[in-house]
Every structure is written in structure tokens, then in C-alpha cells.
Amino acid sequence: MKSKIIHAPDLSKAASRRKEQTVFDILKSEHLASLTEMVKGWFYYIKTYGCQANVRDEETMRGMLEGIGCQPTEDAQKADIIIVNTCAVRENAEDKVYGEIGNIKYLRKTKPNLVLALCGCMVEQPEILDRVVKTFPEINLFFGTHEIPNLYDLLFEAMMSRERIINVESKPGEVVEELPVSRLNRFKAFVNIIYGCDKFCTYCIVPYTRGKERSRKFEEVIKECQDLVNQGYQEITLLGQNVNAYGKDLPDKKDFADMLEAVAKLGIPRLRFTTSHPWDFSEKMIDVIAKYPNIMKSIHLPVQSGSDEILRKMGRRYNREHYLNLVKSMREKIPGLTLSTDIIVGFPDETEEQFLETLSLVDVVKYESAFTFIYSPRKGTPAARMVDNVSKEIKTKRFLELIKHLEVSIEDSSKKMIGHSYDLLVDGVSKTDANMLSGYTDGNKLVHFSGDESMTGKIIKVRITESHTYSLIGEIVNGQD
């Protein structure tokens, strides 16, 4: 089958940050009525990889598909529309996607009218897109992260055309409001406040796949959050690649602290946010977090490295001292705060000494949880062109050593919780033990306990009885209604 290329990705265009104002738009489609007729009785299946931005994108696509009468299915074989929503942040994220397509591509033979689509961050990279287009002739629709609001027209085109449709336009991106949403969780919700990223950390592909930083209008975010409160949601997580940059591109001078405060005042029982960039974290934000009990005392603050030289090469815009001062101020002003982080080991030419600085930072900060990664070169990023004389073996050794150091403070913080009681938002049956329920504390610690499934979606109090490195065991505190 031939391919019809409407737009092809282009990394230099993706990197451009034109200064013009963000364009605000709403959903429109030329083909809504005919498409609704064409998909009568259809099922859809979406498989999402990557970060919460991708999960929230899936929820928009679900909302759009259900808006034209399609029903969700967990069984790809039953589906008439299959969408694989991809991540490109590290090589192993990509490998998972190749595995998934390998598993489902045979369905094309059983269902000639199947729409098999690939979207998300992987297709935004020209070479990857080229490779998947060539390797998987079964896929008949490719669309980029900016194209989600056009899903109806894309589906229509893919269904009407004899050709494979490729529409991946590299551009700064718009903010499109009033998109439908079908949420994956009925008591915890993600709300985007800012899209894209302008930081261009030298190792990272995200600014190329997600476009420029563009904030949603203050009142649109408040409207979405108010709706969630009205529907009885228990937890909102405000989302952005860099939430603290919120508002910098808006004329009304509202910043992330103003946003947090306004959402907290709506009365949502739990408010979280992710991800924070240390460079944009102000004292005003810390003060707001400290002031409102319903803002969870848990901050994800990626450090990436403890070495000033590596931080400089990464383009992170802060140094070790700045980061440690920020942590100090947070810990002083926010009692009971838990801190989590992201760390990359094996950045190009990282010396043993530089790595030891990361270990010593980890020992000083005493994180309550952490995500650790071995550096993965991303084509098109500046770091991918840097000389790297560090062997794979050394990188793996450092990675394991880092985890050992992190586990000391993680275990320690868990142990200190034994005997104390914490509020828990119950997620439901535990993923690791079908006889237990599980949920997260304010500080984002995972607790398993035995209880009735009807507690799902409620906030209850548990006393911690046992601690493991990455989870805790608790019991319900009696006397709760």
C-alpha cells in the first residue's frame, strides 16, 4: 500500500521556538456525521506507553471515540480501531512498542477494515517513523502528538483512503479546548495546565516531540477542576512537562503558585502536581504548598545529577548548591514533606568523581522515592553528539550502586512510618496481592492492607505495621465511619 504524507516530522522545525502568541482553538471536524455512521457498533483498543501526558492524551482519544459511539475493549482481537500511543524518552520505551506492534499486527489479516494507528512521541522522530513505516505495512495511520484534536478527520481519511495516512507535523503547537474526555479512573484525575517544554535539556527528546511551552488559560483549568470536584473526584494531579513554568507565556501574569492556590480552594480532597523543574521553583510556590492541607506534601523534583559539570553539560540551568538550598527551604517550610526525584547515570563522559557527587547528593537529600535511568542517546539531541568514553559495564555498575544508596533513605523513611497512622486514598485490589487492597499516603508511599473492596475511591486512615523498601503494610484504624 502506498503512503499519503500529509505532514512529515522535521526535528529542526520541532526545535524552533517562534515568539508568536499561543493559538487557542476548539474541536471541529468536517466528517463527524459520516464518521459516526461508519463506526456504528465498533470497538476500540488503545495501548499507551510513557508519561502521564500520554495517559491524558489517551483519555482525550477515548472521549472522542466514545463521542462517535465506539466502545472500549481490553481485547485487541475484538477491536476495529487499535491505537498504539508511544513514548520515545529512552530506547527501552521504544523496544516495548516494537514488541506490542509485533504481537498485534497479524490482526490486519483477520480484519481488512481494521484501523491500526501509531501515535505519540515515537512518530515525531523522522528516523523512527521511517523505520516503522517500512517495517510494519499493517499500520495504516500515523499521527503526531499535535494531531490528536484532528482524530476524527484522521480516522475518516484512513478509512476512506486506499493509502496509508501519515500526518506528523512538527510545530510549536496550539492549545485546543473543549475536547471530550473519558477518564480512566473515576476518583483520580489528571489535568493538563501546560503543554510542551522549552528547557531543551541536552539529553531529552521531549521538547522536540511535544512542542513549545504553552499554558492553558487559567479559567479553563479551573473549569475542568471544578467539574471534577462536582463529580466527586478525590484527587487531581496538575500536569505539565514543567508545571512551574505555568503562565510565563500568558498575558495575565498568573503563575503556578496562583494556579495551585486557586485549585486547592476548590476543595478537592487531594491535590498533586508533576513535574517540577528546580530552576522554576519559587519560594511563593513553596509557601502555597505549605499553606493548604489539601495540597499533598510530596514533591517530585528531578535532580538528574549531583555534579555541577554534568548539570552544566545537561543544560539543567541550576547547580548542586541551588538544588540543595531549594530542598532545604522546602524541608523547613513543609513539615512531613516527601521528596522524589529522577536521576540519570552514565551521561556522556561522566567521570567516577562526578558519579560520586551524585551519590553524595542522594545521601544528603535522603529521598523518599526515586526513578533512576541509564542514559540513552536520543538522535537529534545535543548529547547524542557528545563523545562518550564510558563503557556499558561501568554505567551498569554505577546504576546498581546508585540504587543501593537510594534504598538506604527510602527504607529508612518507610521504617519511620511504622506505628504511625496515615490517610490513604484507596486504589482498589492490590496489584501484587489479590487478597489485599492498596493505596497511596499523602506522601505518595504505597501501602497494602486488608479491607473491603467497597473502600475503593475513599480516603481512610491506616496504621503502618510493616515496611518493605518500595511498599508498606498497614491496618485500618478502627472507629472510622
Q: Which of residues 221-280 bind ligand SF4 (CB under 6 A)?
A: 241-242, 277
Nearer to ligand SF4 among residue 218 and residue 373 (C-beta)? 373
Nearer to ligand F3S among residue 131 and residue 463 (C-beta)? 131
For residue 387, the one-letter residue type is V
> Residue 68 binds what, of ligand SAH, ligand SF4, ligand F3S, none (CB under 5 to 8 Å, by partner type)?
none
Q: Segment near ligand SF4 (CB under 6 A), from 21-29, 101-109, 196-204, 391-399?
A: 196-204
* Cα first-last separation, the chain: 62
Q: Which of residues 44-63 bind ligand SF4 (CB under 6 A)?
A: none
Cα 305–308–312 angle (5° rounding)? Answer: 90
Q: Which of residues 40-99 bind ligand F3S (CB under 6 A)?
A: 50-51, 53-54, 87-89
> Residue 200 binds what, of ligand SAH, ligand F3S, ligand SF4, none (CB under 5 to 8 Å, by partner type)?
ligand SF4
The length of the chain, given as a count of residues: 481
Rounded distance between C-alpha atoms, residue 211 and residue 147, angstroms? 12
CB 176 within 8 A of CB 211: no
Q: How far is the CB of 439 from ligand SAH (least distance, A)?
A: 24
Rounded to 10 degrees, the C-alpha dihedral 75/76/81/87 comes to 110
Number of residues in contact with ligand SF4 under rule CB under 6 A: 10
| Interface characters, 200-229, with ligand F3S (x: CB under 6 A) | -----xx--xx-------------------
Order of strands across the sheet with 338-345? 298-300, 338-345, 369-374
Q: Check residue 212 for interaction with ligand SF4 (CB under 6 A).
A: no
Interface contacts to ligand SAH, rule CB under 6 A = 89-90, 203-204, 206, 241-242, 275, 277, 302, 304, 342, 344, 373, 375-376, 378
Task: Collapse the DSSP code of 347 into the 3-class scheme (helix H, G, I; strand E, B; otherwise coil) and give the result.
Answer: coil
Q: How far is the CB of 99 from ligand F3S (least distance, A)?
A: 16
Element (H, E) at 36: helix 32-38
Q: Check residue 243 for interaction with ligand F3S (CB under 6 A).
A: no
Nearer to ligand SF4 among residue 124 and residue 442 (C-beta)? 124
Q: How far is the CB of 207 from ligand SF4 (least distance, A)?
A: 5
Among residues 192, 237, 199, which one has the least CA distance to residue 216? 192
C-alpha cell at 435: 487478597
Rounded distance between C-alpha atoms, residue 262 and residue 288, angstroms? 10
Q: Check residue 201 for interaction with ligand SF4 (CB under 6 A).
A: yes
Q: Check residue 197 for interaction with ligand SF4 (CB under 6 A).
A: yes
Strand residue runs (E) in 295-412: 298-300, 338-345, 369-374
Nearer to ligand F3S among residue 300 and residue 445 (C-beta)? 300
Nearer to ligand F3S among residue 91 and residue 407 (C-beta)? 91
Q: Check residue 215 for interaction with ligand SF4 (CB under 6 A).
A: no
Q: Which residues contact 137 (CB under 8 A, 6 or more apart)?
A: 1, 164
Nearer to ligand SAH among residue 344 and residue 417 (C-beta)? 344
DSSP structure class, residue 119: E
Rounded distance between C-alpha atoms, residue 16 and residue 143, angstroms? 20
Q: Under the rule (CB under 6 A), what is the footprint of ligand SF4?
A: 197, 199-201, 204, 206-207, 241-242, 277
